[in-house]
Structure 1
Amino acid sequence: MSHPHFDLDVPPPLKDGAVRIVPLGGLGEIGRNMMVLEHRGQLLIIDCGVLFPDDDHPGIDLILPDFRFLEDRLDDVQAIVLTHGHEDHIGGVPFLLRLKPDIPLIGSQLTLALVEAKLKEHKIRPYTLAVKEGDIERLGGFETEFIAVNHSIPDALAVMVRTSGGTLLHTGDFKMDQLPLDGRITDLRAFGRMGEEGVDVFLTDSTNATVPGFTTPEIEIAPAIDKVFRHAKRRIVVACFASHVHRVQQVLDAAAKAGRKVAYVGRSMVKNMGIAADLGYLNVPPGVVVDLKAIDDLPDDDVVLICTGSQGEPMAALARMANRDHRIDIGVDDTVMLLSSAIPGNESSVWRVINGLMRLGATVVHSGSARVHVSGHASAGELLYAYNIVKPKNVVPVHGEWRHLRANADLAIQTGVGHPHVAVVEDGMVVDLEDGRISVAGVVPAGYVYVDGSSVGEADEALLKDRKILRDEGFISVIAVVDSVSGKVVAGPEIFARGFALDDGVFDEIRPKVLTALEDAVAGGVTDTHQLQQVIRRTIGSWVGRRIRRRPMILPTVIEA
């Protein structure tokens, strides 16, 4: 959930001519990126992504931004601008368009193709407008200009937003790879041109702000991939994000060079790579890609499988292979490559999968043992270049945990942006741009919205707390029957427990105490079953805490007979 800001009030009405910046996700966390701009009563949304759950969110499928700020103002939304096609930037779009399906979607060709495929599953037919670098579009009171940036997915865009109240440059996710696989570099000339025009607020990617120097070019992982292909004895299984077109391209090229066939594993991988190939973003060597069913007829040393699951997701293909719950049976002399690094919070899940694969006899190659991954985000040296080129008047770091945002702010200050002109804020904290200066104006709701099976927003922190208690502390059920006339206990208490290492016989010690507590309560005039249940809960809870050192979920039931 987002952090409360008790020192901030609800922001006042926006002053005429000012621009309001409302981050609903992505600031203070890695994921669910969503920024809302407000000017003269109109709203423009930049990105609408999801956050993937971790161990603190048992049973949760996805975490969405909080749309409450928008619910009563959906008619004011001019468009949703999508910077690129990663899930943490587009995954929330179907859930927002459920509220108003005709909000226009603006993005590059590949980004829109990926989000349209997602919306098709939700039976939503969106209005879309494809843009490319250099395009300028008027979206209500917002003029947007799109700029090419390099990232770990093709067709990523930064966006310059011009209003009568000031200009804002949002980088999206970017880096300055000078040798990109597709030849499409971050357009620093355009950044410089924007700087000459004047950038009132620079909203820039913070993910790698703590990393010194420059991000390694994508092309430099090719030798490590080729080396794995030369030495692999049997099948090669490659795990990466289903949207990482550049990484898949390198695997396809290595497979073609080694004379191996490639099959995609997993619905999202098949769908996304099909879209990328159809649109020309993925160059598939002739005869290399085959259907998954065809691998059964191929020698093991001719097979490459590209699947999802590089973050240790329990239902993804790689984790299921590690658990022997997949048609692909990993064994001795198979080689598995994880072509990504663990997103903060996923480390234990990733190591669990790696251990499971190695236990089955596979050789596992990952970013800790070979250069098989490079980041898609600008490191500190690149961010310094960006600040010196753009020369912004004000800076709001975006996309990152607090440590990333703080480090990015420090970089801005080092390049000459004054302390009062740098706002380190997180989800829900509203920043206003007025007369060329920024200030924190207040706070709006920006908590986690949970997708739990088919329900959206119904799961809350109380439910997750119950699930964590059940998972970590166990469960005790107590049943007692009382006479409806006399109030005396005529049966029980019966105690049933799950999640304890001790035998149920350990509860023989507490049964007489529960019975005594009930009889004392009845003698004192307590007859309400709910109050009697609370007596049971307090008695059991106190004893379990002392005797077993646990705080289980206790469900007492008192039945009148």
Structure 2
Amino acid sequence: MPSAVQMPSRKLKSPPSLPVGGLRVIPLGGLGEIGRNMTVFEFGGKLLVVDCGVLFPEEHQPGIDVILPDFTAIRDRLKDIVGIVLTHGHEDHIGGVPYLLKERPDIPVIGSELTLAFITAKLTEHRITPTTVHVEAGDRHVAGPFECEFVAVNHSIPDGLAVAIRTDAGLVLHTGDFKMDQFPLDERITDLRHFARLGEEGVDLFLTDSTNAEVPGFTTSERDLTPAIDQVFATAPKRIIVSSFASHIHRIQQVLDAAHAHGRKVAFVGRSMVKNMGIAAELGYLKIPAGLVVDFKKLRSMPETKVALVCTGSQGEPLAALSRMASETHQIRLSPGDTVLLASSLIPGNENAIYGIINKLTDLGVKVVHKGNAKVHVSGHASAGELVYCYNIVRPTHVLPVHGESKHLHANAELAIRTGIDPGKVLIGRDGTTVDLIDGRARISGQVEAGLVYVDGHTVGKVTEETLVERRMLQEGGVVTVVAIVDADTNALTEPLEFIAKGFVHDAQVFDGAVAKVTAALGRESAAKLEDLEDLEALIAQTVTRHLERAYRRAPLVTVVVIDA
């Protein structure tokens, strides 16, 4: 009977010291969520980081801009980092780099031409000048004790790379994000011959993209979308507004080609869209016919049948251009007859925000074309059939699925097992789970801290889960402030309680019961002995909260101000 898949127990402790000659893999993000991808490799006292991305917040995380990987496990060892390898230029793989470089600015950043251009522009906004190392597919680069070999992979952004990492402990292959489109727009396919050569050498540990592991078959080719996009441009009666990721160069190239074919001028809207498309065009990754792209202010004087806009906001981000257009707070006002083309997939957790945008646009009389009603988007990730091909080509000894929620990791593990890999050599981890490769054997060795680090405006890591609980209470129940004037010696009330409510709908009698219960609580002998003002405030807050929850079935945030009489 085959051994079971290796999975971390809930009682895992910090890993032991890494033996000489052993390699440790430390995923700090991307295992259990789609986003904030970051994996650290440790060998010979040195660290190599592969990717450092962000995760975008969901509805239950109000006020949060982005979520970072937790650097706690490596913060005391920043001097040991020999490089940051970036597999491609998407935010969930590069967005956290500025925050890591703020802690040590001279860490070399290693990546392809377009990826380095994107991260350099981002770092300029943070006033950081990076040390960069440009690599291409087929190159080898030595960083400390790590020899990195780069492999061309196809994804929804040009210049993607897988990375093979050699140490004396063995060979590790990390696919990054990839798919196996056989007819890519940029004619750059995933180099399976290179994968096969690495397989012949012997891949000891294979880290594979799990995003589409549940999807059977093969991911649709980008070229198959051209007819649907062309149909939108051929039939739209007025303006066309295309919303996409600001880094989705392949899709925007298709939009530009369609606009050019149908005699429409194009304007980019949104700071990140303008910046990224400018970089892509300058480096030759985006082919723009002369005179096609103009400043969007010039479009106002042109016939609406000759206008197309390309903007951000395909994920329903509240401050992005499309969201503000839908809310009629943007200088571009949409009207009946306009067509909005959502040319990106739905990131898990963003569904409600996106559907909300679609409904708002529909109420404005706008026709919305999206993945649900037209073939206008394909995934950038390998489906199950492609993953199986890779397992059969590489024939790795061990497998560690990465980049995905728990269901995706398990589905990917099952695919590996079905290709003949020993289940005992398939490892399913979570953020912070350490995997050690020692004497050719990979095993789960421990757990390091790998929580969610919230960026809230200019603050990083100061927002806690308790903060978010308070924000959700404010969002859902409002706030009630209780002013209590008490006797300094007995803690008894000397004046009636005063209640100030904001966002909490109530009737005149709702606080009557609270007054009686607070009076009774303060009359107990234990309350009279409270000397700490915070303890007294907590007692009153708990009493009022319990009363409102039971009597009113609402849970506002209750704050208390105690004044000594």
TM-score range normalised by the length of the shorter chain: over 0.9
TM-score, structure 2 as length reference: 0.96
Find the counterpart in structure 2 of residue 447 from structure 1: 451
Find the counterpart in structure 1 of residue 11 from structure 2: 7
Which letter maps to 2:295?
A: D
**1:39 positional shift:** 0.9
Confirm or deny that 1:350 pairs with 2:354. yes
Find the counterpart in structure 1 of residue 560 from structure 2: 556
Please tell me whether the aligned partners of residues 510 and 552 of structure 2 are also in contact (alpha carbons under 8 angstroms): no
Find the counterpart in structure 2 of residue 98 from structure 1: 102
Residue 299 of structure 2 aligns to a residue in which SS? Answer: helix
Please tell me whether the aligned partners of residues 142 and 148 of structure 2 are also in contact (alpha carbons under 8 angstroms): yes
Return closer, same or farther for 1:484/1:403 CA change in 2, 3 Å cut-off.
closer
Return closer, same or farther for 1:529/1:383 CA change in 2, 3 Å cut-off.
closer
Alignment of 1:364-403 (within 5 A): 364-403=368-407
Find the counterpart in structure 2 of residue 143 from structure 1: 147
Find the counterpart in structure 2 of residue 62 from structure 1: 66
Which letter maps to 2:396?
A: P
TM-score, structure 1 as length reference: 0.97
Distance 2:528 2:330 in 1: 61
Alignment of 1:316-465 (within 5 A): 316-465=320-469
Please tell me whether the aligned partners of residues 213 and 382 of structure 2 are also in contact (alpha carbons under 8 angstroms): yes
Find the counterpart in structure 1 of residue 83 from structure 2: 79
**1:556 positional shift:** 1.7
Distance 2:552 2:91 in 1: 44
Which letter maps to 1:146?
A: F
Relative to structure 2, which stretch is displaced further, 504-513 or 62-71? Answer: 504-513
Return closer, same or farther for 1:114/1:525 CA change in 2, 3 Å cut-off.
closer
**1:517 positional shift:** 4.0
**1:160 positional shift:** 0.8
Find the counterpart in structure 2 of residue 120 from structure 1: 124
Find the counterpart in structure 2 of residue 236 from structure 1: 240
Please tell me whether the aligned partners of residues 513 and 547 of structure 2 are also in contact (alpha carbons under 8 angstroms): no
**1:163 positional shift:** 0.8
Please tell me whether the aligned partners of residues 497 and 504 of structure 1 are also in contact (alpha carbons under 8 angstroms): no
Return closer, same or farther for 1:528/1:42 CA change in 2, 3 Å cut-off.
closer
CA shift digits 1:501-535 (9 cap, x unpaired): 33354324433443454355699555654444344
Find the counterpart in structure 1 of residue 25 from structure 2: 21
Return closer, same or farther for 1:524/1:390 CA change in 2, 3 Å cut-off.
closer
CA shift digits 1:171-209 (9 cap, x unpaired): 000000000001000001101111111111111100000
Return closer, same or farther for 1:504/1:79 CA change in 2, 3 Å cut-off.
farther
Find the counterpart in structure 2 of residue 474 from structure 1: 478
Corresponding residue to 1:514 among 512, 518, 521 = 518
Quote the sequence identity (%): 58
Distance 1:374 1:391 in 2: 28
Find the counterpart in structure 2 of residue 294 from structure 1: 298
Distance 2:503 2:9 in 1: 37
Relative to structure 2, which stretch is displaced further, 484-493 or 471-480? Answer: 484-493
Return closer, same or farther for 1:77/1:213 CA change in 2, 3 Å cut-off.
same
Aligned residues between the structures: 559
Return closer, same or farther for 1:175/1:527 CA change in 2, 3 Å cut-off.
closer
Confirm or deny that 1:492 pairs with 2:485. no
Alignment of 1:147-186 (within 5 A): 147-186=151-190
Please tell me whether the aligned partners of residues 5 and 443 of structure 1 are also in contact (alpha carbons under 8 angstroms): no
CA shift digits 1:353-399 (9 cap, x unpaired): 00011011100000000000000000000000000111111110110
Please tell me whether the aligned partners of residues 521 and 532 of structure 1 are also in contact (alpha carbons under 8 angstroms): no
Return closer, same or farther for 1:85/1:522 CA change in 2, 3 Å cut-off.
closer
Please tell me whether the aligned partners of residues 488 and 522 of structure 1 are also in contact (alpha carbons under 8 angstroms): no
Return closer, same or farther for 1:98/1:530 CA change in 2, 3 Å cut-off.
closer
Alignment of 1:275-314 (within 5 A): 275-314=279-318
**1:542 positional shift:** 2.5
**1:492 positional shift:** 2.4
CA shift digits 1:104-152 (9 cap, x unpaired): 0110000000000000001110110111111111111111111100000
Distance 1:528 1:76 in 2: 46
**1:435 positional shift:** 1.5
Distance 1:465 1:504 in 2: 27
Please tell me whether the aligned partners of residues 276 and 282 of structure 1 are also in contact (alpha carbons under 8 angstroms): yes
Query: Unaligned stretches of 5+ in structure 2?
Result: 1-6
Return closer, same or farther for 1:19/1:526 CA change in 2, 3 Å cut-off.
closer
Return closer, same or farther for 1:390/1:520 CA change in 2, 3 Å cut-off.
closer
Distance 2:270 2:258 in 1: 21
Residue 544 of structure 2 aligns to a residue in which SS? Answer: helix
Distance 1:486 1:37 in 2: 61
CA shift digits 1:267-300 (9 cap, x unpaired): 0000000000000000001111001211111111
Distance 1:349 1:245 in 2: 24
CA shift digits 1:408-454 (9 cap, x unpaired): 01111111110111101111000001121110000111101110110
Distance 2:454 2:279 in 1: 29
Distance 2:157 2:490 in 1: 73
Return closer, same or farther for 1:150/1:535 CA change in 2, 3 Å cut-off.
closer
Q: Give the CA RMSD over aligned residues.
A: 1.7
Distance 1:296 1:77 in 2: 51
Confirm or deny that 1:501 pairs with 2:522. no
CA shift digits 1:302-358 (9 cap, x unpaired): 111101111111111111111111011011000001001111111111100000110
Please tell me whether the aligned partners of residues 449 and 456 of structure 1 are also in contact (alpha carbons under 8 angstroms): yes
Distance 1:198 1:515 in 2: 74
Return closer, same or farther for 1:503/1:339 CA change in 2, 3 Å cut-off.
same
Please tell me whether the aligned partners of residues 492 and 519 of structure 2 are also in contact (alpha carbons under 8 angstroms): no
Residue 178 of structure 2 aligns to a residue in which SS? Answer: coil
